[in-house]
Structure 1
Amino acid sequence: MMGDNLSALYPSIHMALGGFHFGSYQTSVMISTLVILPTVMLRNLSLLSYISAGGVIAFIMIILCLLWVGLLSDIEFHPSGNIFNFSKLPVTIGIYSFCFGGHSVFPSIYSSMREPSRFPSVVLISFLIAFISFAGVAIFGFLIFGEATKSQFTLNMPERHIASKVAKWTVVITPLTKYALTITPVAFSIEEFLPSHHRKSHGVSILIRTALVISTLLVSLLIPYFGSVTALIGSALVVLVIGACTFIIILGLISSIVGTYSALHSMSG
C-alpha cells in the first residue's frame, strides 16, 4: 500500500543495484521498507499504541480527501456499473474480512490494557466504527469512480487536485503508525520458541524483526497485487477463525451432552 502510493507520486523514480534495475514500484517498496524498519524495533506496546493513534487521524484525513474530491471538485459523482456483482462477491468478502483481521494483535492489546475487563467493549466499539467507516468509503468510492475503482481508491484520484496528493501522502505515512503494532506480537510469539537466555537479547530481537520486515518486502516484490493478496489473507486466514470457533462450540456441545448423559446414567444405575 505504501509502495503503490509512493510510486504513484513519483512514477519516474528508479534504481540500479548490483546489476539489477528496479522500476518505480520496486524502488518505492524498498524505500518504504527502510523507512518502516526502525519503527519495529520498539518493544513497548503502550508506546506503540500512542503511535498507532496517528493512524486513526490519518484514516479520517483520507476519508475527508475522498469527500473533497467527490463533493467539491469537478469530478463529482459518476456511478457506473452494477451495484451488485455477485461474481466478485467471494473476493469482496475476503477483502472486507481482511480489514477485521486483528487476531495476532488482540492478545497483546488485552495483556497491556490497564483494565482488561473492558476489552470486549473496546473490540465491539472498534469493529462497529470500522464497519461504518469501511462501508462509507466503499459507497463513496463507487459513487465517484464506479467500476473503475482500483484496489486503493487513492490511485484513482487525479493528480491535479491537492486532495489527491494529501490522500496519497497520508496513505504513505499510515503504515508507519500501524505496521509495528501488527508485527510486534508476531515477533513476541517467535521469541517464545527461543531458549530463555536468548529471549531478552536485544540483538536477537533486532534480527527477528528485521527478518519479518524483509519477508514482507519479498512478498510485496514477488506478489505485487494488493487487492488479491488482501482477499487471499482475508479468506484463508481471517474467516478461517470462524471455523475454529464453530468446531470448539460443536465439540463443547457434544462433550456437554455426552457428559451430562453419562453422569445421569451413572446416578440412575
Structure 2
Amino acid sequence: MALSLEELIPKERLESHWYAIIMRTALTISSLVVAMSVPFFGLVMALIGSLLTMLLAFILPCVCFLSIVRSKATWPQVAMCSLILIIGVSSSALGTYSAISKIINNLR
C-alpha cells in the first residue's frame, strides 16, 4: 500500500526520503488507530484470515490448476488436488465457525 501511495507523489519530491518515511509512519499509526478502535480486532482478523487465507493458499490454486489442465491432468494430480480442496474447505469452515462463535460469545 505504501508503494502504491508513493507512486502518487511527484518524482521531484520523492527524491527526498522524508515523504516516504512520513507516509509509512502515517500508515502505521492509522493501522494502530483502527486496531485500537475496532472491538474484537483480533477476532475479526481471525475471521478474515480463516476465510481468505485458505481460499488464496489452498482452494483457488487447486481449482485454477484443475480448470486449466482439465482432461490432461493425471489421476494422482486430481486426487491430490481433491485432497487439498477437502482439507482447505474443511479448515476454512472450522476456522470461520470458531471465529464467528468467539465473536458472538464476546458480544454477549
TM-score, normalising length: structure 1: 0.21
Larger Rg: 1
TM-score, normalising length: structure 2: 0.44
**Higher-helix-fraction structure:** 2
